[in-house]
Amino acid sequence: MQTRRTFLGSVGAAAALGVVGPAGLIGDAAAAENGATNINDAERTSVDSAAAPDRGEKILFWVAASTPCDKNLNFDPELYKDLLAYLKSQGADGVVVLGTTGEFPSFSFAERKKVAETAFKNRKGLNIMVSSGTSNFPETIELSKHAEDNGADGLLIVPPFYYKHPRQEALTKYYSMIFEQVKIPISLYHIPFASGVPISLELLHSLEHYPNLAGIKDSVDNAEEYHAFVKEFPSLNMRTGTDVNLKYALDHGMGAILAEGNVFTKQIASVFAAKRAGKDIDEPITKLYAAVKLLRPAGVDEYGPMKYALSLQMGTRQFYQRPPNSDVTEEQKTKIKAALDEIKRMG
């Protein structure tokens, strides 16, 4: 079963290895394309003073944050700073730095450290989880220790993704080498349609003696498989990585790491807020799905259109994705603007 919207519009596995805010934050097309400045100072001040989420709380909303690049495809630290502030202002509890939606395979080893360091310097009360996985254990350990040393709240580690169908004992050895050197919480990344290496119940059981095994991110839409994860490990945080399993996750005390959080931040945050307040979450989930239905046909599951939509929402200059992910088309831009206008009217 291939998911994440047919794997980001049929982008290859190597390329991928996660709406609208207040009216005043939605920039027009000229602002996005010609270079508006950043989110307003009052909003940034309120974000800077926000408290970090409780580390012991499981029902948290992490955004699988995109990684802004400029027109020359260089990492843009100023836009990243503004993105983090924006996501916090819209209700996100945390972000995953350089996950699949953050295009981690498209950045060099040195760049991955720089992006993470930028996140740590501008965390603004956000829980920071770093995606530190690579196809080999020396680099994975080095990136993991770098994150740990610089204040990461946790790690998300994809299996080594070049060799397919490794035996469980070999995967256990791989992850054990990391657990034995890194002590902050580690979650395993179940995204087999990209990595080619699933996270199994047996693998998790083989690692559960490590006290910093935190749980997983499950990016597969398969409800039955996700339910099995939750049933087998109720004390861990078996975070859903899809909006399809969001209600089930919250009903069972689990969190979520969502790529959809980039452009539907406010709607998803409203679902979590209702849950924490002990209210029924059906109404905010219905509003979320209504927004998704309007904007998703414009292609925002792909990174070019997603980043274009996000720049409109933030009121900043446009930011870009790296190849082999595709640029937003003029047709998609038109559809995105129309959908955002309609979502704004929905309130």
* Catalytic, out of 174, 189, 226, 320: 189
Pairing mode, if any, of strands 186-190 and 154-157? parallel
* C-alpha distances in Å from residue 50, one per residue of 85, 91, 96, 250: 10, 11, 18, 24
Cα gap 317→192, rounded to integer Å: 34
Residue type, 152: A
Cα gap 197→188, rounded to integer Å: 11
Active site residue 247: no
Active site residue 189: yes
Cα gap 346→340, rounded to integer Å: 10
Cα gap 137→261, rounded to integer Å: 30
CA dihedral 255, 261, 264, 269 (to 10 degrees): 40
> Do the Cβ atoms of 153 and 121 come closer than 8 Å?
no
Active site residue 174: no
- Positive/negative CA dihedral, 215, 50, 309, 107: negative
* Catalytic, out of 81, 217, 266, 333: 217
Active site residue 163: no
Q: Which of 86, 52, 81 is nearest to 67 (CA)?
A: 81
Residue 98 parent element (H or E): none
Cα gap 202→72, rounded to integer Å: 45
Cα gap 64→256, rounded to integer Å: 10
* Catalytic, out of 100, 134, 172, 265: 100
Question: Who contacts 218 (Cβ-Cβ below 8 Å, separation ≥6)?
Answer: 190, 199, 225, 226, 229, 238, 239, 240, 241, 242, 245
> Do the Cβ atoms of 34 and 317 come closer than 8 Å?
yes
Residue 186 parent element (H or E): strand 186-190
* Catalytic, out of 6, 37, 45, 162: 162
User: Could you give the residue numbers annotated as active site?
Assistant: 100, 162, 189, 217
